[in-house]
Amino acid sequence: MKRVTVRDVAARAGVSIATVSRVLNDQTHVAPETRDLVQRAIEELGGQVVSRRPAPPGAIFLRCPYLLTDYFGLIVSSIAETLDLHGLQVVLNAGEAAQQREVLPTLAARAGVAGAIVVLPPEPGADLVALQATGFPFVVVDPRETVPRDIAAVSAAHFAGARSLTGHLIELGHRRIGLIAGPDNWLASTARRAGHASALADAGVLPDRRLALPGEPTVRFGYEAAQRLLDLPSRPTALLGFNDKAASGALAAAASRGLRVPEDLSIAGFDDLDLAQATRPTLTTVRQPLQEMGRIAVSLLLRLLNRHRLDALHVELATELIVRDSTGPASFGS
């Protein structure tokens, strides 16, 4: 009997590889007609189906030491759902209290754990390098620091996203743009500030350090940073938040001063969480493919577990500028 791959069956049936996998693993959430379609394709191919991604022994350790709301919740949910499609169990290590535990040095010796996915790891890069040296398979999602090229990682195109957002404001006539930045030691913060500066440079504008305030990207920080920026003798005509939460804080600060958005002040965020469409006005922002980041992380890990060669260890996913109601032409009357 000839060997037939899952990819062969998927192509014959006109469905995804994940759908074929669900049928082969006898999972319940497959429509009867789809199940029949896959079974018929297997019979027509007349072979024994050999999965290209056999489930490795052991569970996958998923570390995300943050509250699983908004940003992190979307990534973790996507990872867990994708692992489930491949018949893999998850050991979840989450919550802010998890930041106080030394986890990475123990992973390689954990019984019943085949690999790991770590999301925005707070540990220093040296800990990731030490773990990689043990040969333990793992993938980093949205690394906090620059990671070596031989460590698998997936993130969004922070530089390009920030550049497109600042470019949008420049097209609207803004030149004095306040930046409610993230922590200085985050890779995403550095990349976004560089993208912002690049767009300003194209317009012949030099970045003003007084217009950039770093901090934890929360609603409270966004509010406080916006107040400080709006107190400058020559206030910005626009504010960029590191994320949608910081931008929503800036919206509250503008409202407390009686400033109309976007007539008196433009405000934009980053991430495109549900919050961006719940504010008034709705937020212009940059959409990060958070769920796709989770799926790609699982794909990379499966290849590592099956000892496949990875030609692209660092995957950077495209972002998308989403223009809504919170940005408009620059106002110079205040």
Q: Which residue would you say has higher pLDDT here, 262 or 312?
A: 262
Q: Which residue would you say has higher pLDDT here, 55 or 276?
A: 276
Q: How far apart are CA 200 and CA 230, in angstroms?
A: 20
Pick the CATH number of 158-288 from 3.20.20.70, 3.40.630.10, 3.40.50.2300, 3.40.50.10310: 3.40.50.2300
Burial of 315 (0-12, 13-18, 19+ CB in 10 A): middle
Domain 2-50 fold is: 434 Repressor (Amino-terminal Domain) (1.10.260)
Is the pLDDT at 73 greater than 50? The verdict is yes
245-270 as b/e: b if 16+ CB within 10 A: bbbbbbbebbeeeebebbebbbbbbb
Q: What is the mean pLDDT of residues 235-254?
A: 97
Domain ranges of the chain: 2-50, 59-156+292-318, 158-288
What is the per-residue pLDDT for 203? 96
Q: How far apart are CA 192 and CA 271, in angstroms?
A: 12
Q: Which residue would you say has higher pLDDT here, 19 or 295?
A: 295
59-156+292-318 with 158-288: one CATH topology? yes
49-72 as b/e: b if 16+ CB within 10 A: bebebebbebbbbbbbbbebebbb
**Strand segments (E) across the chain:** 2-5, 47-50, 59-64, 90-94, 113-119, 138-141, 153-156, 177-181, 212-214, 238-241, 266-268, 285-287, 314-317, 320-322
Global pTM value? 0.81
Which residue from 293, 308, 294 is spatially nearest to 157, judged by alpha carbons? 293
Which residue from 228, 275, 222, 220 is spatially nearest to 246, judged by alpha carbons? 222
What is the per-residue pLDDT for 166? 98
Domain 59-156+292-318 in CATH 3.40.50.2300? yes
Confidence of residue 332 (pLDDT cuts 50, 70, 90): low
Confidence of residue 3 (pLDDT cuts 50, 70, 90): low
96-131 as b/e: b if 16+ CB within 10 A: eeeeeeebbeebbeeeebbbbbbbbbebebebbeeb
The model's pLDDT over 140-172, given as tens digits with 9 standing for 90+, comes to 999 999 998 889 999 999 999 999 999 999 999
The model's pLDDT over 277-294, given as tens digits with 9 standing for 90+, comes to 999 999 999 999 999 999
Q: Which residue would you say has higher pLDDT here, 41 or 209?
A: 209
Contact 154, 293 (CB under 8 A): yes
What is the per-residue pLDDT for 23? 78
Q: With the C-alpha atoms ordered 138, 102, 155, 296, is the resulting torsion angle positive or negative?
A: positive
Secondary structure (DSSP) of 296-332: HHHHHHHHHHTT---S-SEEEE--EEE--TT--S---
What is the per-residue pLDDT for 52? 46
What is the per-residue pLDDT for 2? 54
Confidence of residue 334 (pLDDT cuts 50, 70, 90): very low
Phi, psi of 137 (to 5 degrees): -75, 130
